[in-house]
Amino acid sequence: MNTWLSFLSSENAQLKDSAVISFGEQPKDYNSLRSQATMVPLSDRGAVKITGVDTDKLLQGQLTCDIKQLELEGALPGALCDTKGRMISNFIAIRTAPETVLLIMPRSLVEDTLATLKKYAVFYKVTVTDGSDDYVFVGITGDLPAGSKIIGASIAEQQHLLLIAADRAENIWKSLTATHKPAGEPFWNLINISNGIGEVRPQTREEFIPQMLNLQHLGAVNFRKGCYTGQEIVARMQYLGKLKRRMYRLRIKAERLLEPGTSIHTEDKTNQGTLVMAQWCDTGTQEILAVLTADAATANTLIIGDSPLPIEMLGLPYDEKFGGEPN
pLDDT at 75 over 90: yes
pLDDT at 327 over 50: no
Q: What are the two backbone dihedrals, phi and then psi, of residue 28, each rounded to the nearest 5 degrees?
A: -65, -15
- 124-149: average pLDDT: 89
- 290-294: average pLDDT: 96
Residue 89, classed as helix, strand or coil, is strand
Closest Cα to residue 196, out of 142, 152, 247? 247
- 251-257: average pLDDT: 94
Q: Give CA–CA dist 160/162, Å, rounded.
A: 6
CB 39 within 8 A of CB 181: yes
Give residue-wise pLDDT tens across range 141-168.
998 876 666 888 999 999 999 999 999 9
Q: Give CA–CA dist 95/261, Å, rounded.
A: 31
Q: Is 35 exposed, middle or buried (0-12, 13-18, 19+ CB in 10 A)?
A: exposed
pLDDT value at position 268? 78
Give residue-wise pLDDT tens across range 162-209.
999 999 999 999 999 999 999 999 999 999 999 999 999 999 999 999
pLDDT at 258 over 70: yes
Taking all residues of the chain, what is their mean pLDDT, rounded to a whole number? 94
Residue 278, classed as helix, strand or coil, is strand
pLDDT value at position 240? 76
CB 88 within 8 A of CB 80: yes
Distances 215 to 31, 99, 246, 323 between C-alpha atoms, Å: 26, 26, 10, 15
Give residue-wise pLDDT tens across range 97-116.
999 999 999 999 999 999 99
Give residue-wise pLDDT tens across range 205-239.
999 999 999 999 999 999 999 999 999 999 988 88
- 277-300: average pLDDT: 95
pLDDT at 32 over 50: yes
Domains of the chain, start order? 1-243 (3.30.1360.120), 247-315 (2.40.30.110)
- 283-296: average pLDDT: 96
pLDDT value at position 266? 87
Bridge partners, residue 163, by sequence: 137, 151
